[in-house]
Structures are given as structure tokens and as C-alpha cells.
Amino acid sequence: MDSYRFGAGRYIQENNALDFCGEEIKRYGNKAYVIGGNTAIAVTEKRLCSSFEKYGLAYYMERFSGYPSVQKIEGLKAVVKEKDCNVLVGVGGGRIMDLAKAAAFGLGIPIVAIPTQAATCAAYSPLSVLYTPEGHSDNYIHFEYEVNAIIVDNQVMLTQSPRLLASGILDGMAKYIEIATLHPKVLDGNTSIARNSAFYMAKYTYDVLGQKGEKAVSDLKTGVWTKDLHDVIYVNIALTGIVSALMQGKGQTALGHAFNNALHRDFLEYIKKWLHGEGVALGLLAQLVYNGEDDRVEELKRLMKEFDMPCSLAEIGINTSPEINEKLFQRLCTYPFMTHDKEHEKLLKKAIESVGE
């Protein structure tokens, strides 16, 4: 069955959205299990609890700061059942979203996402990225239905760091660079309308983030809400998630994301202090070389430097060598995007070497 899960049943992004989140969550259940990161709960707890009480929503709240591992997912499922909760609410960043989604879908109960940052599209995408308890990349879980609701409070978004927003901008821009690798095949007469739509939406996303991204990060630094900031957050979370859904999480040469995952598999001690979008951006530099678009590398580096992102493996502490490059090559060859012929393997080796220094 060629089915699509477009990410979210309802998407709400406005000022003071937290103030009526209790009413929204009660659409799906009358007893909520709320799990969030320490910082996320700190900036939302007072308003969350006030709204829950106003609308008569019973709840239990947990703070969690680890990784979305199989072990934690099973533990969370057990405690949600023990507390007899019938809706799960994730509050925070990508790790919390992936954890909450996986547990909710495993239990077969509704999931409401309340992101406190726009560093990824994790709140929107109907999949979870899993890690080991130590933080190594592990696996993906694709879900059969969407997140029930996403509640984005603009005032909460003002509390995130500019670095987190910049990370989301590069993560969002990655979709076009990754999908464009298939060009012109993505645009031929035999390609599905969904993939053609994904291509054009990814291009639009890329253009909006390129035009408004730096201004939005600058606005966030001043702590003043602007339309550019609103638009970039919408694109980072919602549109990027829709593009991923249209591609059904496959059919693209996602070297940017694969590169970041490979670093989390084999070089965790170096990459763990960098955000998801920062690791993806490093992979995008390699992706452009793989795509034969070497002339665009400096343009991307300029934006990354503006956002104080690392532009080489050396800048994250990895002193490359033939052995290091071969290790990355062998790991990347295990990902589904890789075409196993001499031409593409040569391109991949060139791409890896290009981000060494």
C-alpha cells in the first residue's frame, strides 16, 4: 500500500498557545503523561500546569535528560500504563519528541508534541530516531499514523538559543540538497506526484530559509518576535516534516543525515557536543561534492561560519587519515542511499576527503 503520513493531525503555532494546551490535549485523553527535558519543563511548567488545571486535565509529569533508547521507550511505556494515562505529551527538543512518539505509538495512545526549540522537525515527523543509552546512533522507527497535535508557543520559542534555531535551519535546508541528488530523475514523467511535490516544497523550504534564516537568528538574539522568526520556525518544524513525509523517508541520497549518523556510530566522543543540524551540515558539505556541485561548497560554508558551525572534521577534533576516511567510507556504504559501483564509490571517497581539513 502506497500510504502517506503527513506528520500531524493538527498544527498550532501562535502567541500564548500554552495557555490553552489543556483544552487541546483533552481532545485526545483525560489523563496526560507529560515527559520533558529539564530546561523544557523549567520554561513551560507553570503555564502548562495552569492550563491543565483550568481545563480539568489530570496529569503526571516526568523530567528526562537521556537518549531515546529501546530501554527507555519500554520503561516509559510501562510507567504510562501504570499511571493509567491515555495521552502522552512530549515537551522539549528532538530527543524527547522521538522518545514520546515511540512510546505513544507503541502503546497505541495519542501523542501531543510541544516543542520548545526549532532545531529539527522531530515534533512533526512520523518517525523516531533511536540511540543507545550512551548516545550512539541505533535505528529508526517509522509509524503508521501521524502525531495527533503539535503546539508551538511563540513566547516559548523565544527562550531557545540562537544556536538551536540555526541548527534547525541547516537541517531544513538539507532536504533540498538531499532530494536534488536525484535530479532530473525526480522530475521525469515516471516519478510520482508526491516526489515531485517533495522536490518543489524542499526547494521552497531551502529558499525561504536561505532568505530569512540569518535575519531570524539575529531577531532571536534580540529577544523580539518577528514575522521572519515565525516563518523560519514554521518551516523548520512543519514544512520540513511534510517534505520528509512526501518522500516517505526514502528515495533520496541523504548523505548529510547519514554522515551525521555515521559520526554518532563511530566517533561519538567527537560529535556528541554538536547539535543534530550541525552534524548534518557537515555532511551536506560532503553531499555537495558527491552531487558534483563543488562550486556551491563555499556558499554553504559561509552560512555555516555565520552560525559558528564546524566546517570540517578537523574542527570537531577528528584528525583525518586514510584509516579514518576508510572507516567512514565503510560505514556510509551500509546506508540504503549508496549505489555500489566504482563511480559512486569514488565519488563518496572524494566527498569524505573534502571535509577532512
Structural domain spans, the chain: 8-157, 162-354
| Residue 138 marked in a binding site | no
pLDDT at 138: 87
* Local confidence band at 5 (pLDDT 50, 70, 90 cut-offs): confident
Best CA proximity match to 234, nearest among 303, 169, 298: 169
| Residue 94 marked in a binding site | yes
The 10s digit of each residue's pLDDT in 92-109 is 999 999 999 999 999 999
| Residue 125 marked in a binding site | yes
Any residues with CB less than 8 A from the CB of 13 and at least 6 apart, and which? 150, 152, 154, 230, 233, 234, 237, 238
Cell of 309: 558551525
Any residues with CB less than 8 A from the CB of 166 and at least 6 apart, and which? 213, 217, 277, 307, 308, 309
Task: Kindly tell me if the per-residue pLDDT of 185 is higher than 70.
Answer: no
Least confident of 85-89, 125-129, 251-255, 265-269: 251-255
- The CATH number that domain 162-354 falls under is 1.20.1090.10
| Residue 131 marked in a binding site | yes
| Residue 257 marked in a binding site | yes
When the pLDDT of each residue in the chain is averaged and rounded to a whole number, the result is 92
| Placement of cell 569524505 in the chain | 352
How does 308-330 read in b/e, with b if 16+ C-beta sit within 10 Å? ebbbebeebebebeeebbebbbe
| Residue 201 marked in a binding site | no
| Residue 242 marked in a binding site | no
The 10s digit of each residue's pLDDT in 224-278 is 999 999 999 999 999 998 988 887 655 455 788 899 999 999 999 999 999 999 9
| Residue 95 marked in a binding site | yes
**Rounded distance between C-alpha atoms, residue 311 and residue 147, angstroms:** 34
| Residue 10 marked in a binding site | no
Percentage of the chain beyond pLDDT 70 is 96
Report phi then psi at 142, rounded to 5.
Answer: -100, 135
Count CB-CB contacts under 10 A for residue 170: 29
CATH number assigned to the domain with residue range 8-157, chosen from the 4 options 3.40.50.970, 3.40.50.720, 3.40.50.1970, 3.30.413.10: 3.40.50.1970
| Residue 230 marked in a binding site | no
